[in-house]
Amino acid sequence: MSIIAALAESREGELALHAGIEEARARGEELIIFNLGITPINPADVPNDISWRAIERVGHADRNPVDALLEELSENPTVTRVVIGLRKRSPMGKALLGSLSQRILLNSPVPVLAVRPQT
């Protein structure tokens, strides 16, 4: 069994990574760090007591990160949860613009743990 932490290049992505680490540790599951950005994951960001692997993007020309994440979920039935970071958006921003997090929340076949910075 495994947990996917969707790592964006943002403060919210860092929160998702830390929450994913804690979730994997608490459940005794492997952590899959799914890189939504293009900056490679730093192995030093993951504690040594966690079994983990990374799914990296190769650059801007790579496929849509949400489509790739949803495809990974459909191909990997051992994933039990996805962890994502959320940022605060205005009601107008929510109505007019979609977001990576929103697409994951609406389309994930497994439960999603959404974390956000404290205000």
Q: Mean pLDDT in the chain?
A: 88
30: which residues sit within 8 A by CB, 6+ positions away?
1, 2, 3, 24, 51, 52, 53
**Dist CA 106 CA 100 (whole Å):** 10
Overall average pLDDT of the 5-30 stretch? 94
Reported as type and span, the H/E element at residue 69 is: helix 65-75
pLDDT value for 4: 97
Overall average pLDDT of the 85-104 stretch? 71
pTM of the shown model: 0.88
Token digits of residue 85 = 């970071």
Query: Residue ranges of the domains in the chain?
Result: 2-115
- In CATH terms, the fold of domain 2-115 is Rossmann fold (3.40.50)
The strands making up 30-35's β-sheet, listed across from edge to edge, are: 52-55, 30-35, 2-7, 79-85, 112-115
User: pLDDT, tens digit, for every residue of 19-69?
Assistant: 999 999 999 999 999 998 888 999 999 999 999 999 998 776 778 888 999
pLDDT higher than 80, residue 107: yes
